[in-house]
Structure 1
Amino acid sequence: MWVNQYVGNSKQFRSQFVQCVKELSYLGYDYLENFPYLKKHFTPDEVIKICDQYGVSMSALYCNLSEGLDELKEDAEYTAAMGGKYLICSSGNWPEDQGLDCPADWDAVKKDALLCNELGVYCKNAGIKLLHNHHSYTTVCRRPEIDAFARQTDPELVGFCVDDGHAMVAEVDIIHLVKVYADRIDYVHIKDLDPTLSWRGRGMSWVPLGLGTLNLPGFFEALRGIEFDGIVCAGLPAGCEKINHFESARLSRQYLRSAQGL
């Protein structure tokens, strides 16, 4: 997310992306994740070359189902071509004035499930796995919606990327979610937040790992309880930096290493 401000300037984007890869590699991260705008600035071979140079790999692209099936298929093809293993998607974003007390849109949940089943087939044929992320303030973010989506999707085609931060915002018990859907979890987004910070809005007051109030030890205990052995991606959204992006990534990597042995 460090580079999204440069999307409109390809020269700056390319330069900043390479710098980010250098810095994250230096801090000890093994896998990196990005958004579909990456494909507008780099060929898959260029991404592979840059990552190989610094000893890291691109694990996934993170997309939104509102892009539409044709664009999502391009995302899948690009992910596979750059050596990624997962296409992670979230459902469409709610309007800014819509809160967590709004009624569920079951037709929209069904529509997303059917779309993911179709996209999941395409991803499988491309050699990658489609995962759904329960991002807060989207069609599928609260527990009843997650459960309905799960019932309507093929576990062989659609896995889950669970996120402790967005679970907390949407009032979902992440530890119970992990236990119930253990066999569908292939990937983890881990975040921390400080609810006393209101400036980020909508409860998403992100901070570097270990500096917030989320039950990170309990989350990791639940993951170890299901013998999770996939990728744990430190979520570093814009706004969570204490000083700058690098420092935020450093503090988060330090927490993962010292507190969780990762």
Structure 2
Amino acid sequence: MTKPSPQPSPPSRIRIGSAPDSWGVWFPDDPRQVPWQRFLDEVSGAGYTWIELGPYGYLPTDPAVLMEETARRGLRVSAGTVFTGLHHGPDVWDRTWAHVAENAALAQAVGAGHLVVIPSFWRDDRTGEVLEEPVLTAGQWQDLTRLTERLGREVRERYGLRIVVHPHADTHIDGEESVARFLDATDPDAVALCLDTGHYAYAGGDSVKLIETYGERIGYLHLKQVDPEVLAGVAAEGVPFGPAVARGVMCEPPSGVPALEPVLAAASALGVDLFAIVEQDMYPCEPDVPYPIALRTRSFLRSCGV
């Protein structure tokens, strides 16, 4: 009796990309950052086909120019990124929308389907100056959730993009408690989550558990790892996020946490199309550092089946 032939595994529905962040880019213009042309050349050379826009103004903001520059390198855009402070209430809506609209318009024009929304920092990410209380009041939570829902609906209606909210170190949405509270209080039809594995681990969260618990809310992934030894020192000293990155708190996979293989397996088990964008925070870094890391990281992710 012959044994049935093993069935081939279905192709992965996870689309891998990278971002300017993995090249040390945090600002539209900074002499310590690589020129945008070099970023595009190297991200393509490392084997990626998807990118994010990064800070608005780093890549060309003329859609025709950007489409030409990405297409000739075999690249496509998955998302734009915005920072918001919607917990401050309706008074900040008009200013927020102006910022969101220019980013969303560019993302739409170059074929992206998502807009990554990052809450504003409660302390300055360079100096550590405390800008506001690290814990929101009940009223601020209500403003945050209601206005984020409004943002999600208006971005979808006007630009056809899905917003994905990104928990981030030194913001009011970071670890398990605040992420669960945010998801439980928002409409799944309006708001999805961008799970950044590094930032979630930075705040003590378990990415696999989050995917298994809130799988239907996961709309996007950022792949990142934390060096646990550096993180322990950062936490003990109360170091803000920017200086923590300069210390190397975000590290090259697979040397940190969380392990990405089980995260990718849990995400694949959802059975949906997902972008998984590599983001290794490295600002500032020497210009020759990112490309070899990008090559190794892409090779590692292929070994994970994506």
Q: TM-score interval w.r.t. the shorter chain?
A: 0.7 to 0.9
**RMSD of equivalent CA atoms:** 2.9
What is the DSSP-based 3-state SS (H/G/I as helix, E as strand, rest coil) of the residue aligned with 1:137?
coil
Q: Among the aligned pairs, what percent are the same residue? A: 21
Partner of 2:171: 138
CA separation of 1:108 and 1:27: change in aligned 2, threshold 3 A: same
Displacement of 1:46 in angstroms is 1.3
**Does the 8 A contact of 1:208 with 1:240 survive in 2?**
no
Superposed CA deviations along residues 21-66 of structure 1, whole A, max 9, x for unmatched, are 1111111111101334237843122111111111110111121113
- Which is worse superposed, 241-250 or 111-120? 241-250
Aligned-partner Cα distance in 1 for 2:257–2:58: 36
More helix by share: 1
Partner of 2:46: 27
Displacement of 1:257 in angstroms is 1.0
1:28-177 superposed matches below 5 A? 28-38=47-57, 41-66=60-85, 68-95=96-123, 96=128, 103-125=135-157, 126-177=159-210
Displacement of 1:211 in angstroms is 2.1
Displacement of 1:97 in angstroms is 5.8
Aligned-partner Cα distance in 2 for 1:218–1:26: 27
1:216 to 240, 245, 260: 260
Displacement of 1:222 in angstroms is 1.5
What is the DSSP-based 3-state SS (H/G/I as helix, E as strand, rest coil) of the residue aligned with 1:64?
strand
Aligned-partner Cα distance in 2 for 1:204–1:146: 25
Partner of 1:206: 250
Displacement of 1:144 in angstroms is 2.3
CA separation of 1:25 and 1:132: change in aligned 2, threshold 3 A: same
Superposed CA deviations along residues 48-103 of structure 1, whole A, max 9, x for unmatched, are 111111111011112111372221122212211121110001111121366xx954
CA separation of 1:235 and 1:3: change in aligned 2, threshold 3 A: closer
TM-score, with normalisation over the residues of structure 2?
0.75
Structure 1 residue runs of 5 or longer lacking an equivalent are: none
Determine which structure has greater relative contact order: mean sequence separation of CA pairs < 8 Å that are 6+ residues apart, divided by chain length: 2
**Residues paired across the two proteins, number:** 257
1:231 aligns with 2:231: no
**Does the 8 A contact of 1:34 with 1:60 survive in 2?**
yes
Aligned-partner Cα distance in 2 for 1:106–1:150: 15
**Does the 8 A contact of 1:134 with 1:146 survive in 2?**
yes
CA separation of 1:121 and 1:88: change in aligned 2, threshold 3 A: same
* Structure label with greater radius of gyration: 2
**Does the 8 A contact of 2:226 with 2:250 survive in 1?**
yes
Partner of 2:225: 192
CA separation of 1:73 and 1:113: change in aligned 2, threshold 3 A: farther
TM-score, with normalisation over the residues of structure 1?
0.86
CA separation of 1:23 and 1:224: change in aligned 2, threshold 3 A: same
Structure 2 residue runs of 5 or longer lacking an equivalent are: 1-20, 86-94, 235-242
**Does the 8 A contact of 2:122 with 2:172 survive in 1?**
yes
Displacement of 1:130 in angstroms is 0.7
- Which is worse superposed, 215-224 or 242-251? 242-251
